[in-house]
């Protein structure tokens, strides 16, 4: 089956917005291949969603049952400061007032 004959689950405008949001620089061939790959993955997801499952199936992780009685309790978040932060920040290419400076990331509101 040729790429053009495949069902398009990801519409081209949505795909283009994803590419733009991710700041990807793709050639036309790379974009076509990525869109085809995305649609292949979405098709597999649709096939999996179509499998009828009986009601009351317990949640699983990686195919292994994970019932409540064997789950670990959630731990409290506890801040433990690192003793030598200068060692970490010395690895950053640019610092300002002891904060790591990163390049500006353009943002666009997605409606």
Distance of CA 10 to the CA centre of its chain: 16
Quote the pLDDT of residue 69: 87
Q: Is the pLDDT of residue 4 over 60?
A: no
Quote the pLDDT of residue 74: 87
pLDDT (mean) for 44-61 = 79
Q: Which residue has the higher pLDDT, 67 or 95?
A: 95
Would you list the domain boundaries of the chain? Answer: 1-66
Quote the pLDDT of residue 1: 35
73-76: Cβ within 8 A, 24+ apart = none
Quote the pLDDT of residue 91: 93
């Amino acid at each position: 089956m040729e790429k053009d004959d495949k069902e398009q689950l990801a519409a081209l405008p949505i795909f283009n917005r994803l590419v733009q949001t991710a700041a990807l620089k793709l050639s036309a061939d790379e974009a076509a291949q990525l869109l085809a790959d995305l649609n292949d993955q979405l098709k597999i997801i649709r096939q999996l969603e179509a499998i009828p499952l009986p009601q009351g199936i317990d949640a699983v992780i990686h195919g292994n049952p994970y019932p409540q009685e064997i789950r670990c309790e959630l731990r409290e978040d506890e801040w433990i400061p690192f003793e030598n932060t200068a060692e970490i920040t010395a690895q950053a290419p640019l610092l300002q007032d002891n904060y790591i400076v990163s390049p500006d990331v353009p943002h666009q509101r997605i409606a």
